[in-house]
A and B are shown apart, each in its own frame.
Chain A
């Protein structure tokens, strides 16, 4: 029997919608299980790579140092990297923080808006979360391709379950990901 292909997935600075869309392939999941197995993924309890993987699926861009580190790990351990969705490709919603108008320091403004003491927020020391357990936020949100080499980009917010199924099915067979006209939608 041919070895099953190994797939790893991760959600970086994304909303998990791309992972949900992966599950929207519904019954195809059963077919997929015949051809492939999941390694590191939020859908399994493999928190690190247990082995080298054939396909890495990335949702979301990078908004903190941990995202960068994870993305580099994926590049190192996967043969083919597929960035799925607007967040991974162009930054998506999180990237809106890069573009706050008339602001010298958008990140600081975001943090102050969320945590500064006010009538609604109880924060007697006026402290912004800064514990060592929290990864450092990046100055800006970065797309995946700004951090590592990406082999395929599948647009959509999210790409539909059918498109993701077609993509994985092709890559599993060793064919290039299909990029047909009707599959390329930016919403």
Chain B
């Protein structure tokens, strides 16, 4: 007996009021995170409550546009029209100055074989920014000038 659950019909309500400042800043090409006054951790994107200290992070911190690839996986997706299998890295980026990693994507022109943990990346802003997470269209890859790159990159 085939069945289906229409997930899109679920109506979840979220309090994202703590994000409004962050989303507004994204529209102006600025990256901010909020900082917990208890443990000094910086959250990007912002969190409503710090899970460690159970206090509301109340301080806004400016962050750089750069970050590092914290980890990555390569997704193999079949194009529904051409049937061609595309290989694309999906990455978690650790933004410089923050203490959390965010799931995002890399520049589609990057060859997936070149991805590695610790790769420096920089935000590529979307043309039309609407004040949402998609304002960060993807991350561009920066030149890696670290000396130990050759010994650690596998």
Chain A bound to chain B: no
